[in-house]
Amino acid sequence: MIKRLQKRYALSEQGAKDLVKGCLACVLQNLSFMFPVGLLYFLVGDLMNGGVPGEKLAFYIVGCAACIGLILITTFIQYNATYFATYRESGVRRITLAERLRKIPLSFFGKKDLADLTSTIMADCTFLEQSFSHFIPELAGSIISTVLISISLLMFDWRMALAALWVLPVAFAIVGFSARVQERLNQKAMDVKMACADGIQECIETVRDLKANNAEQEYLKGLEKKIRAVEYRSILNEFGLAAFVVSASLVLKLGIATAALTGSVLLIGGSLDVLTFFMFLLVVSRLYDPLQGALQNLAAVISTRTNIARMNEILDHPVQQGENRLSNKGYDITFDHVGFAYNTGETVLKEVSFTAKQGEVTALVGPSGGGKTTVSRLAARFWDVSRGRILVGGMDISKIDPETLLSLFSIVFQDVTLFDNTILENIRIGNKDATDEQVLAAAKLANVDEFAEKLPEGWHTNIGENGCELSGGERQRISIARAFLKNAPIILLDEATASLDVENETSIQTALSRLIADKTVLVIAHRMRTVAGADKIVVLSEGSVAEEGVPETLLEQDGLYARMVKLQSESQNWKLA
């Protein structure tokens, strides 16, 4: 049962156990509310027989105190078993999701956007937090306690019990049959919420471009439609829920009428005494109140399926695994008949084979969309190959844990990601255990000191979200400083100087020359002059290796590489008419 609960509600093992405890605690609480009814039954019996005898007065006083004490104790247990346990599980759930995302291949993120994943970890977890503290335990507690009470009533007087209880299966069936309708409504509501969140995020991220193109008003009109769609879907969701819950509640109310009517008939016929009739009316009135809440809880539990499905999509996704021990001999990178396709079925690489040797610079060039970036990502196991093998020093990287493998790589991307922190701490990302002296040494090798020491607070200057206080060249130097600090034996450079001006490009190329010495270097570049001094050129076109060799030889062959060099040389002579 614990395993089923884990899967059904995206819970940890302890969370599933706590959910069972919470349900049992709610059962105890609901049953405790029935003790005053029993006490009242005996009190009314005594009153009808001429009054409360003196010797029984103490019994009723103690009984009242015992009922109050029992209700307080069971409520305390219920509160601890549901609320506190739920808050702990909510934290565990968020951490589990984050840990799972850390191990999922990057191909998964190509199908997801930031707003969707953020909503899953934050909003969906918050909704489930409410479900597990309010809805599910109370629903289970109401159902179990109602079954126990119903059995007792059937044993006491089956005729009155049937008259009072026939509405229960009908009411729950009405809400239960709404499951498919609710799932469709919830899914559509979730879709428009995600579209709205994406639109808001996109608006914030692209506000500069929208202003530059006078496109703000038009974009905001579209965004307003998305917001209105969320409003419309929310109202429709509430109406869809209310239609079934209110109908079920109305049916539930009929139970009081049928119990009263049946009891009256039996009372007139002499087959039911007044005390029993009174007792059934008391129990029924007490029984239906929590069940009305249970019907709403059942509808809420049904609506959690969409949120849980989104979580399980992350939790059930295959992760990249492998050994935590490296077994490579050297740092040559070998692609052996590698093929790769995205989940969409689109083939990106076909039978790619080449070797990037240690101590050499291997450059990947070719037309856009040829597979250059994909090759570099596969080398670091950001994704797993569909066919073939990738070896590092003879070690098959598919058998190595990705985080262990990445200890061999320093990567400098074209798009640098920085954090809202100081320059020192942003560089320390390369090696979290590095001292300030080591960070400063790496920074100077990357020429970061040229601008850092001119800032108001020097190395301790906060550079803003994603380094918004710095220029592109300055941000790139921090990225290179990280690579210096990590000092890994393999360097991946992905268009590291593509978007820089000539002065910054020269400065960064000087820093890169220091970085790549005596290491295995894989460079991706569009500018042919950037790779003119490479030891080896691999030309990728349409997912295959079109040419391979040293630059001079490839120029003599007058193939694709030579044509790219010629075209870029001609473009340098272009000028405005």
User: Which residue would you say has higher pLDDT here, 356 or 316?
Assistant: 356
The residue extents of the domains of the chain are 2-313, 333-571
Look at residue 336 in the predicted model and tell me its pLDDT: 93
Per-position DSSP letters for 402-424, written without gaps between them: HHHHGGGEEEE-SS----SSBHH
R_g over Cα of the chain: 35
This prediction has a pTM of: 0.67
∠ at Cα 27 (24, 29), nearest 5°?
A: 115
Q: Is 506's pLDDT higher than 70?
A: no
Look at residue 391 in the predicted model and tell me its pLDDT: 94
Across residues 302-315, what is the average pLDDT?
78
Can you say whether the dihedral through the CA atoms of 83, 87, 89, 93 is positive or negative? positive
Look at residue 508 in the predicted model and tell me its pLDDT: 65
What lies within 8 Å, CB to CB, of 159 at 6+ separation is 262, 266, 272
Across residues 70-77, what is the average pLDDT?
89
* Helices 436-445 and 472-486, packing angle to 10 deg: 120
Lowest-pLDDT range of 19-28, 57-66, 102-111, 356-365: 102-111
Q: State both tokens at 67.
A: 């009922």
pLDDT over 90, % of the chain: 8
User: Which residue would you say has higher pLDDT here, 577 or 59?
Assistant: 59
d(CA 346, CA 371): 12
Q: Is 408's pLDDT higher than 70?
A: yes
d(CA 286, CA 476): 70
Please indicate whether the domains covering 2-313 and 333-571 agree at the CATH topology level.
no
Across residues 456-478, what is the average pLDDT?
83
Look at residue 453 in the predicted model and tell me its pLDDT: 87
Q: What is the pLDDT of residues 201-224, one digit of tens each?
A: 888 878 888 888 888 888 888 889
Q: Is 553's pLDDT higher than 70?
A: yes
Top-confidence range, 11-15, 105-109, 182-186, 504-508? 182-186
Across residues 126-154, what is the average pLDDT?
78
Q: Is 395's pLDDT higher than 90?
A: yes
Lowest-pLDDT range of 195-199, 432-436, 492-496: 492-496
Question: Quick one: residue 225, left, alpha or beta (phi over 0 = left, psi -120 to 50 = alpha)?
Answer: alpha
Closest CA to 267 of 282, 252, 280, 256: 280
Please, which residues bridge with residue 410 across strands?
491
- pLDDT bucket at 502, cuts 50 / 70 / 90: low
Instruction: Please name the residue that has the structure tokens 């109602």.
Output: 146
Q: What is the residue-averaged pLDDT of the chain?
A: 82
Closest CA to 137 of 125, 147, 129, 149: 129
Architecture of the domain whose range is 2-313: Up-down Bundle (1.20)
For the chain, the distance separating the N- and C-terminal CA atoms, rounded to the nearest angstrom, is: 77
Q: Is 577's pLDDT higher than 70?
A: no
Q: Is 505's pLDDT higher than 70?
A: no
Number of Cα atoms under 13 Å in the Cβ half of residue 105: 21
CB 131 within 8 A of CB 8: no
What is the layout of strands, in order, in the sheet containing 536-541? 409-412, 490-494, 520-524, 361-365, 536-541, 544-549
Pairing verdict, β 387-392 and 395-396: antiparallel
Q: State both tokens at 163.
A: 């008259």
Q: What is the pLDDT of residues 340-382, one digit of tens each?
A: 987 656 788 888 999 999 988 898 988 887 888 888 889 988 8
Phi and psi of 521, rounded to 5°? -125, 130
Phi and psi of 417, rounded to 5°? -105, 120
407: DSSP letter = G
The domain 333-571 having CATH identifier 3.40.50.300: the answer here is yes
Q: Is 396's pLDDT higher than 90?
A: yes
Q: Is 488's pLDDT higher than 80?
A: yes
Q: What is the pLDDT of residues 492-501, one digit of tens each?
A: 888 766 555 5
Pairing verdict, β 409-412 and 333-341: unpaired
Q: What is the pLDDT of residues 247-283, one digit of tens each?
A: 888 888 888 888 888 888 888 888 888 878 877 877 7
Q: Is 335's pLDDT higher than 90?
A: yes
Look at residue 334 in the predicted model and tell me its pLDDT: 94
Look at residue 38 in the predicted model and tell me its pLDDT: 76
pLDDT over 70, % of the chain: 91
Closest CA to 171 of 287, 28, 278: 287
d(CA 119, CA 436): 37
Look at residue 573 in the predicted model and tell me its pLDDT: 60
* Helices 136-156 and 274-315, packing angle to 10 deg: 150
CB atoms within 10 A of CB 397: 23
User: Which residue would you say has higher pLDDT here, 146 or 336?
Assistant: 336
User: Which residue would you say has higher pLDDT here, 166 or 43?
Assistant: 166
